[in-house]
Structure 1
Amino acid sequence: MADETEKPSATVAPLRKAVPCPICKRPSAREHYPFCSNRCRDVDLNRWLSGSYAIPVADDEAKANEDDM
């Protein structure tokens, strides 16, 4: 009978690839993923709420003129 305190010889692969924090580039933490800390998470949230993250939109002038008519 095998001893219950023995550890398996195979190593467990991590579930996610390690990625750096998108704010400060330090290693990310599991509890704050993909960020490294609560501070970096809050910085990112502030950027979203203040409108710093925006997708630039270029209006097509011809289409805008057609809509006016």
Structure 2
Amino acid sequence: MSCPVCEAETAQKYRPFCSKRCADLDLAKWLNGSYALPSQAPEDMDVDVSTEEKAPNRPH
């Protein structure tokens, strides 16, 4: 098995990674959203810009 970050041989202590550095890099990607999966939920979809442009101005 190879490290998913650098493809080096894995170390038992840090498995599936080869080192603490690669494990930390992977964790950082999860924490900053690099590994985020796109959502198909309607409430997460961006609002259609053309609909927003047609809507009357509302006070905040």
- TM-score class, shorter-chain normalisation, is 0.5 to 0.7
Q: Once the 2 structures are TM-superposed, how far is the Cα of residue 59 of structure 1 from its aligned partner?
A: 4.7
| Matched length | 42
Mapped pair 1:36 → 2:13: no
Q: Which has the higher contact order (CA 8 A, sep 6+)?
A: 2
* Alignment RMSD: 1.1
Aligned match for 1:49, one of 20, 31, 56: 31
Counterpart CA distance in 2 for 1:46 and 1:21 is 16
Higher helix share: 2
Q: TM-score, normalised by structure 2?
A: 0.64
